[in-house]
Amino acid sequence: MDCSKSVEFLGIDVHKNTLVLDGRSLKLNVAKELANDQSGFETLIRALGKSPYCIQVVFEATGNYHLPLALALWQAQVPLSIVNGARVRQFANALGRAKTDAIDQELIRRFAESIKPAAQPAPSATMRELQQIVSRRLDLVASRVREQNRLGQCLHQTIKKQLKMSIEFLDKQLKQLDKLMRELVSAEPELEAKVALLMKTDGVGFLTAVELLVVLPEMGQLNRRQISRLAGVAPVNNDSGKGKHKRFLGKGRAIGPILYMAALTATRYNVVLKAFYQRLLNRGKPKKVALAAVMHKLLIYLNSVLKDFATQSSQPVPAQAG
């Protein structure tokens, strides 16, 4: 079916356990609410395949909850767009509409009809696998932090023993995933080159480089303002009339945990960012604000590095003299 001229959008509100479909009729013989699991994905994909319309599925980035749906749709070659939830909320405000769970999917669809987002190309098989690994790894790291905090507060010897065993088990799983990530990256030359390039920046290690490339595949393709807004590290003005209020970080991709440790390390070992961080502190900026500024500056720099890499890679190789 030729979808080049007319595309209909299907808004989906993604929850932990359910997918809520926009109620507007697209001749989809499917329930309005499906399970957010493989059976629900298969039901949706079958219904989309039988529809007389060319349908592009649109949903918000919701951490780990939207990723399995995206992977299933990409596998089935169904066009999809993952949109920034903050922009949908701004769209709702412009319409004078409250954004609630009951109407989320309708607003997502109307937002897509207004801006007509391009369908996001499916990542490579390696990147799809890495997406799942990175998602799982971030969960394991969060679990380990919680267990470590509990251990520090625990006085019961049996529970302390259990917590230590739990942490050891989590460490074992993390090592398995780290090894698999290195194997996958080394098997894809372009990805390996990008990772090596990012690692040249003090504060950015292998895991940070891979996680950034997986969570922000647009790095190197957007300008500094676009990438910082997409990542949610761009300071947003909060002024009204003559009133000047504190700026805040906009909402975006969940890269805070990834960039935080890299920025913290950079404030100690990266000459440029260490000096930048110290200048902010000397001006009276709180450490939290100064560190957020370092995260912003670090991301912009890494984006420019990948942009230069993309430009050089696209240039034709000059003919060699015979």
Mapped onto helix, strand or coil, the DSSP state of residue 35 is: strand
Angle between helices 189-198 and 206-215 (to 10 degrees): 120
215: Cβ contacts below 8 Å, ≥ 6 apart: 134, 253, 254, 255, 258
Beta strands in 89-185 (DSSP E): none
Q: Which residue has the higher pLDDT, 113 or 239?
A: 113
Are residue 178 and residue 286 in the same domain, yes or no? no
117: Cβ contacts below 8 Å, ≥ 6 apart: 58, 81, 83
Amino acid of residue 295: M
Residue 2 domain-assigned? no
Last residue of a domain, one of 187, 207, 236: 187
Amino acid of residue 261: M
How many structural domains does the chain have?
3
Q: Domain limits at 171?
A: 124-187
For residue 13, list its beta bridge partners.
20
Contact by Cβ (8 Å): 108, 83? yes
pLDDT at 167 over 80: yes
pTM: 0.74
Residue 165 domain-assigned? yes
Last residue of a domain, one of 56, 86, 115: 115
- Name which of 11-20, 52-61, 90-99, 157-166 the model is least confident about: 90-99
**For the segment 58-111, what is each residue's pLDDT rounded down to a tens digit?**
998 876 788 899 999 999 999 999 987 777 888 888 887 655 555 688 899 999
Phi, psi of 249 (to 5 degrees): -85, 135
Mapped onto helix, strand or coil, the DSSP state of residue 157 is: helix
Residue 62 domain-assigned? yes
Are residue 57 and residue 152 in the same domain, yes or no? no
**For the segment 214-264, what is each residue's pLDDT rounded down to a tens digit?**
888 888 888 888 888 777 776 544 444 444 434 434 444 557 778 888 999
CA–CA distance, 153 with 149 (Å, rounded to integer): 7
Last residue of a domain, one of 115, 150, 175: 115
Are residue 101 and residue 153 in the same domain, yes or no? no
Are residue 99 and residue 128 in the same domain, yes or no? no
Nearest Cα neighbor of 83 from 12, 20, 22, 3 is 12
Residue 322 domain-assigned? no
Instruction: Compute the Cα dihedral for 219, 291, 202, 132 and give only its sign.
Output: negative
Are residue 203 and residue 278 in the same domain, yes or no? yes
Contact by Cβ (8 Å): 273, 263? yes
Residue 305 domain-assigned? yes
Name the one residue in this structure whose structure tokens are 């009951």: 102
Residue 3 domain-assigned? no
Q: Which pLDDT value is given to residue 263? A: 92
pLDDT at 317 over 80: no
Are residue 52 and residue 151 in the same domain, yes or no? no
DSSP assigned state of 146: H
For residue 35, list its beta bridge partners.
18
- Mean pLDDT estimate for the chain: 85
Are residue 98 and residue 152 in the same domain, yes or no? no
Are residue 63 and residue 182 in the same domain, yes or no? no
Q: In which region does residue 112 sit, left (phi positive, over 0), alpha (psi from -120 to 50) or beta (all else)?
A: alpha
Residue 1 domain-assigned? no
- Name which of 63-67, 129-133, 150-154 the model is least confident about: 63-67
Q: What angle do CA 126, 132, 135 make, to 5 degrees?
A: 135
Residue 41 domain-assigned? yes
Angle between helices 67-75 and 125-153 (to 10 degrees): 160
Are residue 152 and residue 230 in the same domain, yes or no? no
Are residue 152 and residue 229 in the same domain, yes or no? no
pLDDT at 204 over 80: yes
Are residue 221 and residue 256 in the same domain, yes or no? yes
Q: Which pLDDT value is given to residue 235? A: 57
Chain mean position to CA 25 = 31
Q: Which pLDDT value is given to residue 3? A: 61
Are residue 260 and residue 311 in the same domain, yes or no? yes
